[in-house]
Amino acid sequence: MFYRDRRSRRIPTAIRGECGEIGPVITFLGEYDALPGLSQVAGIAERRALQTGGNGHGCGHNMLGTASLLAAAVLKDTLAELDLAARVQYIGCPAEEGGSAKSFLVREGVFDDVDAALCWHPSAFTGLIEPSSLACLEAEFRFEGRASHAAVAPQEGRSALDAVELMNVGVNYLREHMPSNARVHYAVTDTGGSAPNVVQPQAAVRYVVRGGTLPEMWVLFDRVRQIATGAALMTETTVSDRQISGEANMLGNTVLEDIMTDVLHAAGGPDFDAADHAFAAEIARTLPEGSVDRSFAERNLPRPDGAYLTDAVAPRRRAAQGFGSTDVGTVSWAVPTVQCAAACYAVGTPGHSWQLVAQGKSGMAHKGLVHAARLMALAALRLVEEPVHLTRAHEEHRRLLGKTPFHNPVTDVKDLPWSSG
CA 411 to chain CA centroid, Å, is: 19
Strand-pair category, 135-144 with 238-247: antiparallel
Average pLDDT, rounded, for the chain: 93
What is this structure's pTM? Answer: 0.91
Is 260 a residue whose pLDDT tops 50? yes
Strand arrangement, sheet containing 202-211: 183-190, 202-211, 135-144, 238-247
Same domain (yes/no): 156, 71: no
Please determine, for residue 29, whether its predicted confidence score (pLDDT) is greater than 90.
Answer: yes
Q: Examine the domain organization and report whether 141 and 174 are in the same domain.
A: yes
- Say whether both 110 and 9 belong to one domain: yes
Higher pLDDT, 252 or 11: 252
The amino acid at 220: L
Is residue 360 predicted with pLDDT exceeding 80?
A: yes
**What is the SS3 assignment for 144-161?**
ECECCECCCCHHHCECHH
Rounded Cα gap, residues 189 and 36, in angstroms:
14
Q: Is 136 helix (H, G, I), strand (E, B) or coil?
A: strand
Q: Are residues 65 and 140 located together in one domain of the fold?
A: no
Q: What is the pLDDT of residue 44?
A: 97
Q: Are residues 240 and 147 in the same domain?
A: yes
Q: What pLDDT shows up at residue 227?
A: 98
Residues 269 and 377 in one domain: yes
Q: At what angle do helices 61-82 and 363-385 cross, to 10 degrees?
A: 40
Please report whether residue 78 resides in a domain.
yes
- Residue 417 belongs to a domain: no
- As for how many domains the chain has, the answer is 2
Which of 247, 273, 289 terminates a domain? The answer is 247
Q: Are residues 284 and 393 in the same domain?
A: yes
User: Mapping DSSP to helix (H, G, I), strand (E, B) and coil, where does residue 343 land?
Assistant: strand
Query: Does residue 419 lie in a domain region?
Result: no
Could you tell me what percentage of the chain is helix, strand and coil, using 3-state DSSP and rounding each to the nearest 5? 40, 20, 40
CB 30 within 8 A of CB 69: yes
In a domain, 408, yes or no: no
Q: What is the pLDDT of residue 2?
A: 47
pLDDT in tens, 223-250: 999 999 999 999 999 999 999 999 999 9
Q: Are strands 3-4 and 10-11 parallel, antiparallel or unpaired?
A: antiparallel
Is there a domain that residue 415 lies in?
no
Residue 97: what pLDDT?
Answer: 82
**pLDDT band (50, 70, 90) for residue 420:** very low
* Same domain membership, residue 395 and residue 271: yes
- pLDDT above 70 covers what percent of the chain? 95
DSSP string, 243-273: EEEEEPPPPP-HHHHHHHHHHHHHH-S----
For residues 120 and 169, state if they share a domain.
Answer: no
Task: Give residue 416's pLDDT band: very low, low, confident or very high (50, 70, 90).
Answer: low
Length of the chain: 421
Shared domain for 328 and 199, answered yes or no, is no
3-state secondary structure of 22: coil
> Can you give the pLDDT at residue 6?
45
Q: In this structure, are residues 283 and 277 in contact, taking their beta carbons and an 8 Å threshold? A: no
Specify the pLDDT at position 306.
85
Assess whether 140 and 91 both reside in one domain: no
Report the Cα 290 to chain-centroid distance in Å. 26
Of 247, 268, 283, the position where a domain reaches its end is 247
In angstroms, the CA 106 to CA 116 distance is 14
Q: Quick one: which of 278, 265, 269, 287 has its CA closest to 363? A: 278
Is the residue at 19 inside a domain?
Answer: yes
Structural domain boundaries, residue 155: 135-247
Please check whether residues 202 and 66 belong to one and the same domain: no
Structure confidence by residue, pLDDT tens digits, 49-97? 999 999 999 999 999 999 999 999 999 999 999 999 999 999 998 888 8
Q: Is the pLDDT of residue 354 over 50?
A: yes
Last residue of a domain, one of 208, 230, 247: 247
Asked whether residue 104 is domain-assigned, the answer is yes
At position 4, the amino acid (one-letter code) is R
Tens digit of each residue's pLDDT (9 = 90 or more) over 394-410: 999 999 999 888 999 99
DSSP string, 212-230: SSHHHHHHHHHHHHHHHHH
